[in-house]
Amino acid sequence: MSSSEPGAPAEQGGGDAPQRCGLIALVGRPNVGKSTLMNALVGQKVSITSRKAQTTRHRITGIRTEGRAQFVFVDTPGFQTRYQSALNQSLNKAVTGTISDVDLVLFVVEAGSFSLKDAQVLALLKQRIPTILVANKLDTVHRRSELAPWLKSMQERHDFAEFVPMSAKDPKDVARLLAVCERYLPEQPWWYEEDELTDKSERFLAAEIVREKLFRLTGDELPYTSTVLIDRFLEEPGRQVQRMVRIAASIVVERESHKAMVIGEKGERLKRIGTEARQDLERLLDAKVFLELWVKVRSGWSDDAARLRAYGYE
């Protein structure tokens, strides 16, 4: 079962089975673990995570190729219902635009839980597109016996193709979910090379890594209306055995008081953000990274449509 017609299979490596490839959207309210699940499904970090709602702001594509199947996962922003700024409208548009053109939807909720915010996201889903209910964070459920009536109530809310109770932290659960997803992929040639993990550039990933550290290390102090812009991303030419990359980035906030929060006492917080981001980037890019960070105040940027476009949100 799929929302698109099977394409012409392309044989590779002499196997008899046709190739399968399809687009799978991860949707759900903020903080249900979509980005953690995305990284587990891809097998490497391609989407940033933090406790702060709306950490994911862009349509992030992660690619996993296993056997004859290529899974193209799309991590969407958590659908925002509380605030109607230009930024939130842009993020919600990314969600609705994504789920209208995929082969499979993974509707992610916390196992045993269903809130009004979950219901608002579920209302966006089309019945014509197969949807799997992913009951995530199963490891936090104390009474597993309560899951059966909960699953029955969920089936009454939407005609789910399948249910997958799981924990994104459990590799066996992740493998089981991949096997379920494979059945819904159309028979068609792969869209990406076998070793590709994402369609995003290194420059984009660098901005996301810095933003992740910003959100994690400021906690609830800093409003989520802050972003990161890459001013310079240069790979040093030369004969070095190890690749070397120089990155300069600006952390954009809306108020001078927010700037002080980011910098911290004697610059310690900004220094830690830079250190942790650099360490992650060195692993991600397999390179020696030199990272410079600056903090800039841009009042009202999150409600300015022109500035949002300039910052890459459209």
Paired tokens of 156: 């009454």
Instruction: Identify the band that residue 1 occupies on the pLDDT scale cut at 50, 70 and 90.
Output: very low
pLDDT at 129 over 70: yes
pLDDT digits (tens, 9 = 90+) for 179-222: 999 999 999 999 988 988 888 888 888 998 998 898 888 877 77
- Cα→Cα distances 85→139, 177, 252, Å: 35, 35, 17
pLDDT digits (tens, 9 = 90+) for 64-73: 999 999 999 9
pLDDT at 13 over 80: no
Question: Is the whole model's pTM more than 0.75, yes or no?
Answer: no
Instruction: Identify the band that residue 8 occupies on the pLDDT scale cut at 50, 70 and 90.
Output: very low
Residue 61, C-beta contacts closer than 8 angstroms, at least 6 positions apart: 46, 72, 73, 74, 198, 199, 200
SS3 label, residue 106: strand
Beta strand segments in the chain, E: 20-27, 60-66, 69-75, 104-110, 131-136, 162-165, 227-235, 244-253, 288-297
**What is the residue-averaged pLDDT of the chain?**
81
pLDDT at 307 over 80: no
pLDDT of residue 308: 59
pLDDT at 160 over 50: yes
pLDDT at 26 over 80: yes
Instruction: Identify the band that residue 44 occupies on the pLDDT scale cut at 50, 70 and 90.
Output: confident
pLDDT at 166 over 60: yes
Q: Report how far residue 225's alpha carbon sits from residue 130's, in angstroms, rounded to the nearest whole number.
A: 34
Instruction: Identify the band that residue 154 occupies on the pLDDT scale cut at 50, 70 and 90.
Output: very high
pLDDT of residue 284: 85
**Residues placed in the known binding site for GTP:** 28-35, 75-79, 136-139
For the chain, list the domains and their CATH numbers: 20-184 (3.40.50.300), 202-311 (3.30.300.20)
**Residues placed in the known binding site:** 28-35, 75-79, 136-139
Going by their DSSP bridges, the two strands 227-235 and 244-253 should be labelled as antiparallel
